[in-house]
Amino acid sequence: MKKILVTGAYGYIGSHTVKALAEHGYHVEGLDISRSSNDIEKYLNKPAYLHDVVRKDHRGDYDAIVHLAGAIDIEESVRVPWKYVKTNVEGTFNTLIKYSSDNFIFASTASAFNPISPYAQSKLLAENIIKAYGKNYSIFRFFNVAGNNGEFRQIGNATHLIRIAAEAAAGKRPFITINGTDWDTRDGTCIRDYVHVSDLADCIVNSIENPSNSNYECIGSGIGHTVREVIDAMKIVSDVDFQVIEGPRRSGDTAELIMPEDKSVKYYGKRTLEDMCMSAYQMELK
Q: Which of 119, 137, 216, 267 is catalytic?
A: 119
> Could you confirm whether 119 is annotated as catalytic?
yes
Give CA separation, 252 vs 117, 183, 281, in Å: 5, 13, 27
Beta strands 256-257; 191-196: pairing state: parallel
Q: What is the DSSP string of 126-163?
A: HHHHHHHH-SEEEEEEE-EEE---SS----SS--SHHH
Q: Which of 236, 222, 119 is nearest to 166 (CA)?
A: 236
- The set of catalytic residues is 119
